[in-house]
Amino acid sequence: MSTAELYASYQTKMQKIADVKYASAVLQWDQETYLPPKGNDFRGQQIATLSEIAHQQFTDKAMGELLVELSSREDLPASQKRNIQLSSEDYNRNVKLSSAFVRQLSESVNQSYHAWAKARKENSFSSFEQPLQQLIELKKQEADMLGYEQHPYNALMNDYDKGLTVSKVDSLFDELKPQLLVLLDAIKNKNNVDDSFLFQQFNKDDQWKFGIEILKRIGFDFEAGRQDISLHPFTTNFSSRDVRVTTRIDEHDFGNMTWSCLHEGGHALYEQGLPADQYGLPLGEYCSLSIHESQSRLWENCIGRGLPFWQHNSSLLKKSFSDQFNNISPEQFYRAINKVAPSLIRTEADELTYHFHVIIRYEIEKMLIEGSLQTKDIPACWNEQYQKYLGITVPDDNSGCLQDIHWSHGSFGYFATYSLGSLYAAQLFATIESQYPSLGEDLANGNVNNIQQWLKKEIYCNGRYYSSEELCKKATGESLQSSYFIQYATKKFSEIYI
């Protein structure tokens, strides 16, 4: 059989597997948006079945043999060769997990998710504890099956950013923490910023319409996606032409919905920008969760919390919420949305204290996976760490260890990518600014074209071709440097806290 015929067979197999995975993703999206409560049990079974089928198809012996044969062919074009290399890596990793284990894990995630939702309603960790404990034990087993060096957490982080390790993240956080503390110390004695006007009454429907318009203005294609409401904002996709974002609305907190729209919108733009002709193949997938988070943090913070963005969108603010913002200048709004103060909720934190929210979760996850922290002790540990790092008292579980959806999804190893994403975002944004000196003026005029085109060329179109570090070096000329975030933050917050 010719190389072209073999590759066509591989592509067909991969796209069929993708069809199954995305069918499962549709069910998961529905589970978190519209599923009626009595549908929970069967929905979990349906998702588990599809997860098992996809795993069986991908780890089938014939798939392994096909990948081995294609790996030996010398006449593959570069992009096809890279797809085969990446699929082979994925195959060798996935074949270590049995289909029965994959099903068991999926069923446990379903139970854990609904227990988390129930615990949120009750504002009590206790009903979440046992399902979470079972899930953590399965994640420990997964780490053992996959194999690792030095720390079991490395096996799980590798799912979100290939090659990411505890030693790398520890080193990065050890470098970042003292620099953040210096900035926070310099700010704490300065004049406080007034953000009280962000906590007035904001009609839910008006906020919804405003969020839709903001998504349109940053380039989200509503013919290739939609937005809905969920307990915890998230982005999912079923192809680059069907990308879903969700948000949540608090009628007494303007920022809750606004920043989730910008954050999830950044994720969605990345998904919509991936190559459609690589559907189901590695080059049609995102590079890593660290790079994915760089896209959400770039749009949410570097752009969305920047003064030029609101110089343009101030008129939309006042049109949508005339009673609340009619007498507020873009400069006042800019200062308010960048107020630095320790807070309870990660998704609502300022750009500086945000990293400590991430560090706390990262440290807890490490301890859970290595076995030095028991599930029942999570609330106490969480509360202790918030007092240590942020100096605040956690009043209840919803404001503490129940606030994130990630653990109920089994997403252990994810949280570090949020801080990495912020660092990548600052470095990418610095490069964009250096290449487009008029960027601030463009944003003040509502023009995001240069940013969109740069991201499409440097980030989106590459899919998984490069690792995070390789992609960063290709796009910016350097490997990841925390100095870009510190420079960005120092400049911004020095201007605000004069």
What dihedral angle (degrees, nearest 10) is formed by the CA atoms of 378, 380, 383, 389? Answer: -80
- Whether 380 shows a pLDDT value over 90: the answer reads yes
Q: Which helix (H) or strand (E) holds 243?
A: strand 242-247
- Whether 159 shows a pLDDT value over 70: the answer reads yes
Which pLDDT tens digit goes with each residue over 107-131?
A: 999 999 999 999 999 999 999 999 9
Contact (CB, 8 A) for 61 and 77: no
- Report DSSP state, residue 348: G
Letter string b/e over residues 417-456, b meaning 16 or more CB atoms within 10 A of that residue's CB: bbbbbbbbbbbbbbbbeeebeebeebbbeeebeebeebbe
pLDDT band at 432 (very low <50, low <70, confident <90, very high): very high
Give me the residues paired with residue 364 across strands.
none
What number of other Cβ atoms are within 10 A of residue 62's Cβ?
10
**pTM (predicted TM-score):** 0.94
Compute the distance between CA of residue 491 and CA of residue 478 in angstroms, rounded to an integer: 21
Mean pLDDT of the chain: 96
What dihedral angle (degrees, nearest 10) is formed by the CA atoms of 479, 485, 486, 488? Answer: 130
Residues 52, 264, 300, 469: which is the catalytic one? 264
What are the distances in angstroms from CA 23 to CA 93, 190, 267, 284?
23, 53, 20, 17
pLDDT at residue 143 in the model: 97
Class of domain 166-496: mainly alpha
DSSP string covering 351-408: TTTHHHHHHHHHHHHHHHHHTSS-GGGHHHHHHHHHHHHH-----SSTTTTTS-SGGG
Query: Between vectors from CA 492 to CA 491 and to CA 496, what angle results, nearest 5°?
Result: 115
Which pLDDT tens digit goes with each residue over 177-234?
A: 999 999 999 998 887 899 999 999 999 999 999 999 999 999 999 999 999 999 889 9
Compute the distance between CA of residue 462 and CA of residue 464 in angstroms, rounded to an integer: 6
Compute the distance between CA of residue 394 and CA of residue 403 in angstroms, rounded to an integer: 12
Torsion 301-305-308-309 (CA) sign: positive
pLDDT at residue 191 in the model: 78
Tell me the backbone φ, ψ of residue 84, rounded to 5 degrees.
Answer: -65, -40
Give me the residues paired with residue 225 across strands.
243
Contact (CB, 8 A) for 259 and 243: no
Q: In what order do the strands lie in the sheet with 235-239?
A: 225-229, 242-247, 235-239
Give me the mean pLDDT over the 137-158 stretch: 96
Compute the distance between CA of residue 351 and CA of residue 354 in angstroms, rounded to an integer: 5
pLDDT band at 498 (very low <50, low <70, confident <90, very high): low
CA R_g for the chain: 23
pLDDT at residue 344 in the model: 96
| pLDDT > 90 in the chain, percent | 96
Which pLDDT tens digit goes with each residue over 273-282?
A: 999 999 999 9
pLDDT at residue 489 in the model: 96
pLDDT at residue 86 in the model: 98
Alpha-helical regions (H) of 223-377: 254-273, 289-297, 307-320, 322-325, 330-337, 354-370
Alpha-helical regions (H) of 165-203: 166-188
pLDDT at residue 231 in the model: 85
- Whether 133 shows a pLDDT value over 70: the answer reads yes
Torsion 431-435-438-441 (CA) sign: negative
Residues of the chain with CATH 1.10.1370.30: 166-496
Q: Which of 333, 318, 311 minimizes the C-alpha distance to 445?
A: 311
Which pLDDT tens digit goes with each residue over 64-90?
A: 999 999 999 999 999 999 999 999 999
3-state helix, strand, coil in the chain (%, to 5): 70, 5, 30
**441 flagged as catalytic:** no
